[in-house]
């Protein structure tokens, strides 16, 4: 079998209903954005799973490196003063 060029990959995001954000559900191959929307509809929305679709070329996504997770996310762990429970307020002070 001779290999021809594959259709590019698109990441699919679905908004389940208004008021919620779009959420990643999977990916499809398609030649262009119009076909990608149609393929995403057929693949991921056969049962009223949502009311809006986004398709994004997978190649356009830059992801953080799990190997650098510590450098990226660990500093946040030290900064407990960013959480309300860091501050002690006497019991009798209300509405705060």
Partner 1 sequence: MYTTELNDKNKKPAVTPLSAEDPEKLAAFEARVAADDFIEPKDWMPEAYRKTLIRQISQHAHSEIVGMLPEGNWITRAPSLRRKQVLLAKVQDEGGHGLYLYAAAETLGTSRDEMIEALHSGRAKYSTIFNYPTLTWADIGAIGWLVDGAAIMNQVPLQRTSYGPYARAMVRICKEESFHQRQGYEIMMTLAAGSPEQKRMAQDALDRWWWPSLMMFGPPDDNSPNSAQSIRWRIKRETNDQLRQKFVDVTVPQAEAIGLKVPDPDLQWSEERGSYDFGAVDWEEFYAVVRGEGPVAKERMQARVSAWEDGRWVREAALAHAEKRRGARMAAE
**Per-residue string for binding with partner 1, 57-76, x by CB under 8 A?**
------x-xxx---------
What the block records as the tokens of 67 is 């190997």
Q: 37-75: string of b/e by CB count within 10 Å (b at 16+)?
A: bebbbeebbeeeebeebbbbeeeeeeeeeeeeeeeeeee
Compare residues 1 and 77 and give the one whose CB is closer to partner 1. 1
Q: Does 19 contact partner 1 by CB under 8 A?
A: no
> Which residues would be at the binding site for partner 1 (CB under 8 A)?
1, 3-7, 9, 25-29, 31-32, 35, 42-44, 46-47, 63, 65-67
């Amino acid at each position: 079998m001779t290999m021809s060029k594959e259709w590019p990959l698109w990441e699919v995001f679905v908004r389940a209903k208004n008021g919620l954000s779009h959420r990643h559900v999977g990916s499809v191959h398609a030649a262009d954005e119009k076909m990608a929307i149609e393929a995403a509809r057929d693949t991921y929305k056969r049962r009223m799973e949502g009311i809006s679709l986004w398709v994004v070329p997978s190649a356009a996504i830059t992801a953080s490196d799990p190997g650098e997770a510590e450098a990226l996310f660990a500093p946040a762990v030290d900064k407990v003063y960013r959480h309300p429970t860091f501050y002690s307020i006497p019991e009798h002070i209300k509405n705060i």
